[in-house]
Amino acid sequence: MTRLLIVGPPGAGKGTQAARISTEFGIPDISTGDIFRANIKNETELGKQVKAIVDAGDYVPDSLTNQLVADRLDEEDARPGFLLDGYPRTLAQVEYLDELLASRGHRLEAVVQLTADQDEIVERLTKRAREQGRADDSEEAIRHRQEVYLRETSPLVELYRERGLLLPVDGLGGIDEVAQRVAVALAERGIRPAAGAAGAESVA
């Protein structure tokens, strides 16, 4: 059973690494964005509530987000474990997740934190925006998103660091190179893909 959380600033390749971890460990990569979209598409009762809130331009409240995540973690594919991406975002959500997992006799095993020099990320994203012709994605806008991320996640990162769960990993470099760093960091914590898991391999 592998229960992980991944955090990282926009542009650090979090989505790519989350997909790699998901494949390696044979566990679902669960992001709140995907959960919202799936519930809206399937027109579930919770999905209708989310759509009404999003259409009004408001933020989905913790209570609704928590319920959607709890429902997702009850699905069959999450029984062997999961990788959460984009949740929890607030200390209240951390508390809810703690209680949810504890009620099932579970706990979070580690938090993979992709780190990267902000200036290098801004340079990378600015270059990508130019190449893709996205004039609205200015350096100023990119820096703002980085600052919002840092402001929102700093309390969570500190909390997980105090709990001894944080695994900082340099997120800059090639995809395979970063994936290997993640695998080594997890292995050093004693977290390895189960034999027979999709993509399971030994870490040197």
**Which among 14, 20, 72, 181 is annotated as catalytic?**
14
Tokens of 150: 């840092």
Query: What is the C-alpha to C-alpha distance for residues 90 and 71, in angstroms, rounded to an integer?
Result: 19
Q: Are strands 81-85 and 29-31 parallel, antiparallel or unpaired?
A: parallel
> CA dist 55 to 31, 36, 37, 52, 95, Å?
20, 13, 13, 5, 28
**Which among 89, 124, 189, 192 is annotated as catalytic?**
89
**Which among 128, 130, 161, 163 is annotated as catalytic?**
128
**Which among 41, 130, 134, 161 is annotated as catalytic?**
134
Query: What is the C-alpha to C-alpha distance for residues 157 and 175, in angstroms, rounded to an integer?
Result: 23
128 assigned to active site: yes
Q: Are strands 81-85 and 110-115 parallel, antiparallel or unpaired?
A: unpaired
145 assigned to active site: yes
79 assigned to active site: no
The order of strands in the sheet holding 29-31 is 29-31, 81-85, 2-7, 110-115, 166-170
89 assigned to active site: yes
**Which among 51, 124, 143, 145 is annotated as catalytic?**
145
Tokens of 174: 């090639």
14 assigned to active site: yes
- Report the catalytic residues: 14, 89, 128, 134, 145
